[in-house]
């Protein structure tokens, strides 16, 4: 990711996110494969932006280094 050469830290907005919330790399070859291949699902987006941000935060917490040591939280 050009703006995050060492990886984007969790909880930090992507440096390619424009003020109007569009991707500055959309349609360009520098756009990361993970971004281009992502197919948003209703469960990811919710019905408003805050729901989507809450979903992202939950994913970041579930996949953080501390979460791996704590083990699974769902069964």
Q: What residues line the site for ligand SF4 (CB under 6 A)?
A: 14, 16-17, 23, 25, 31-32, 35
**Beta carbon of residue 75, minimum distance to ligand SF4 (angstroms, whole number):** 31
**Beta carbon of residue 16, minimum distance to ligand SF4 (angstroms, whole number):** 4
The secondary structure of the chain as a DSSP string is -TT-TT-PPTTS--TTB-TTS-BTTTTSTTS-HHHHH----HHHHTTSHHHHHHHHHHHHHHTSHHHHHH--S--
Nearer to ligand SF4, 35 or 44 (CB): 35
Nearer to ligand SF4, 15 or 61 (CB): 15
């Amino acid at each position: 990711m050009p703006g995050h050469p060492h990886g984007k830290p969790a909880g930090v907005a992507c440096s390619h996110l424009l003020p109007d919330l569009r991707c500055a790399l959309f349609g360009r070859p520098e756009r990361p494969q993970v971004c281009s291949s992502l197919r948003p699902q209703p469960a990811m987006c919710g019905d408003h932006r805050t729901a989507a941000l809450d979903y992202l935060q939950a994913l970041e917490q579930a996949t953080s280094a501390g979460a791996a040591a704590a083990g699974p939280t769902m069964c």
